[in-house]
């Protein structure tokens, strides 16, 4: 990109403002043009400085981040990255913020995330949301459950099949649109969404309330079974394993892969190795190339793969990269993916 991405950091913590400013100044193509300790100051600086991206704390004095976000997205929509603590309350509020139009979430550095890892991921998220398509508030109906695909008797025989899904920027809503449309007897499903630790717990719980399948945050050794979705826990990689006819997941730490942990490629490559032609792969909205190499491995192993189309993506990065590698069999609008997945699984 020819010009630097202008970032405004909004956080009541002077330490966080200082750390974010210092770390982002090291990243090429990103410049922090200002900071604000609360939404009132932020509002003035937005008008004056016209930032491209805002990082927003959600627990602040005078006005909380959610209230500010609602006003911002209504009157002056900008790409917003939510910055939150790893508390249960913080993760739930962060998910609400994502449903209101925020595009990414990142945790504050601490025991789970070093300043170095945080700064790498924050820089990547800023690049991801810069120029992303923003959905008008009037079009977001966050908790309206979409029409589900009817239960299929044919799916009852697919107990040895696997659905593998990967997503990043904009993925929380995209995943919801897919999973809430799947029948309750769908094949065992494994999902990687780029998200910090603990946030995936709240994400899984929210989906479990909306879906006909059971949705849970994955634990090491969990079986992959029909009617259940396993969400990779934030800050951990998730791999598929097989013992005889039983599929299960391995949860582990390790270096960032494609700047991410969990990484879609880690899951997809393990799915290619252990499930192969028994797999249906789905890659959704997100920046970068995470998942493309893994999906190609799945394709070579006999899997059938679907990518979200450009028009319905917040960021057409990951699907585009997968398509360009030749890994994708079908390209579909986000609202059509579940139906296509069911029709494909009925045939295998």
Three-state secondary structure of the chain: CCCCEEEEEECCCHHHHHHHHHHHCCCCCEEEEEEECCHHHHHHHHHHHCCCEEEEECCCCCCCHHHHHHHHHHHCCCCEEEEECCCHHHHHHHHHHHHCCCCEEEECCCCCCCHHHHHHHHHHHHHHHCCCCCCCHHHCCCCCCCCCCCCCCHHHHCCCCEEEEEECCCHHHHHHHHHCCCCCCCCEEEEEECCCCCHHHHHHHHHHHHCCCEEEECCCCCECCCCEEEECCCCCEEEEEEECCEEEEEEECCCCECCECCCHHHHHHHHHHHCHHHEEEEECCECCCCCHHHHHHHHHCCCEEEEECCCCCCCECHHHHHHHCCCCCEEECHHHHHHHHHHHHHHC
Q: Please tell me the CATH superfamily of domain 5-139, with its number.
A: Response regulator (3.40.50.2300)
Please tell me the predicted confidence (pLDDT) of residue 289: 96
User: 5-139 with 154-347: one CATH topology?
Assistant: yes
**Which residues are known catalytic residues?**
168, 194, 290
Please tell me the predicted confidence (pLDDT) of residue 157: 53
d(CA 164, CA 298): 10
Query: Domain limits of the chain?
Result: 5-139, 154-347
The length of the chain in residues reads 348
Fold of 154-347: Rossmann fold (3.40.50)
* Average pLDDT by stretches of 10, the chain with 348 residues: 85 91 92 94 95 92 87 92 80 88 85 73 90 63 55 61 96 96 96 92 95 98 97 96 95 93 97 96 96 98 97 95 98 96 84
Angle between helices 14-24 and 115-129 (to 10 degrees): 70
Q: What is the value of pTM for the model shown?
A: 0.89
């Amino acid at each position: 990109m020819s010009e630097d991405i202008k970032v405004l950091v909004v956080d009541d913590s002077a330490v966080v403002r200082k750390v974010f400013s210092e770390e982002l100044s090291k990243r090429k193509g990103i410049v922090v043009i200002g900071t604000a300790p609360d939404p009132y100051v932020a509002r003035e600086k937005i008008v004056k400085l016209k930032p491209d991206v805002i990082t927003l704390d959600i627990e602040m004095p005078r006005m909380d981040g959610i209230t500010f976000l609602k006003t911002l997205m209504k009157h002056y929509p900008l790409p917003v990255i939510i910055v939150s603590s790893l508390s249960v309350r913080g993760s739930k509020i962060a998910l609400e913020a994502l449903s209101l139009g925020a595009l990414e979430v990142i945790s504050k550095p601490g025991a789970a995330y070093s300043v170095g890892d945080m700064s790498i991921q924050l820089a990547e998220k800023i690049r991801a949301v810069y120029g992303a398509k923003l959905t008008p508030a009037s079009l977001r109906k966050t908790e309206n459950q979409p029409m589900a695909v009817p239960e299929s008797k044919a799916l009852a025989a697919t107990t040895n099949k696997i659905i593998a899904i990967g997503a990043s920027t904009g993925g929380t809503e995209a995943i919801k649109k897919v999973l809430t449309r799947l029948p309750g007897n769908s094949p065992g499903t494994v999902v990687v969404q780029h998200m910090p630790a603990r946030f995936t717990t709240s994400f899984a719980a929210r989906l479990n309330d909306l879906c006909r399948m059971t949705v849970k945050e994955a634990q090491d050794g969990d079986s992959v079974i029909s009617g259940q979705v396993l969400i990779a826990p934030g800050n951990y990689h998730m791999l598929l394993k097989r013992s005889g006819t039983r599929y299960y997941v391995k949860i582990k730490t390790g270096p960032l892969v494609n700047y991410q942990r969990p990484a879609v490629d880690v899951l997809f490559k393990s799915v290619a190795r252990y499930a192969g032609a028994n797999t249906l792969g789905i890659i959704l909205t997100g920046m970068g190339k995470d998942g493309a190499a893994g999906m190609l491995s799945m394709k070579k192993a006999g899997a059938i793969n679907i990518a979200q189309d450009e028009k319905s993506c917040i960021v057409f990065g990951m699907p585009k990269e997968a398509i360009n590698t030749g890994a994708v069999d079908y390209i579909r609008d986000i609202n059509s993916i579940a139906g296509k997945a069911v029709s494909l699984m009925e045939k295998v």
